[in-house]
Amino acid sequence: AQTVTQSQPEMSVQEAETVTLSCTYDTSESDYYLFWYKQPPSRQMILVIRQEAYKQQNATENRFSVNFQKAAKSFSLKISDSQLGDAAMYFCAYRRRSFGANSKLTFGKGITLSVRP
């Protein structure tokens, strides 16, 4: 079974600074997808960034980028120029590459990020 581990329950960052959120995972699959989701107090889960395991290049989306280390099974999220609106709970998630809807999205426990003005 796949597992996703986020070992830091909370982190804090100064506005405009950079912060890195850690995530490790365990799987026996070779093809899979990794995601970071953001859940602000408004409750909606928002997809921040996605990484395909077969791609060596790290994904980036504006101020968000990942450091994907496939051999180490590590998938960290870097947030640059942190903004107050980045304060939220962040979940790392895994889904194996497959056909059909029966491939589940497995979440880590999440990390609460606070941004200091």
| Strand partners for 107 | 93
Are 48 and 68 in contact, with CB atoms under 8 Å apart?
no
Interaction with other proteins in 59-98: which residues (CB under 8 A)? 89, 91, 93, 95, 97-98
Q: Among residues 1, 71, 72, 101, which is the contact residue for other proteins, using CB under 8 A?
A: 101
Q: Which is nearer to other proteins, 8 or 112 (CB)?
A: 112
What are the tokens at 93?
């998630």
What are the tokens at 28?
């026996």
Pairing of strands 10-14, 111-116: parallel
Q: Which residues bind other proteins (CB under 8 A)?
A: 33, 35, 37, 42-47, 50, 52, 89, 91, 93, 95, 97-105, 107-110, 112
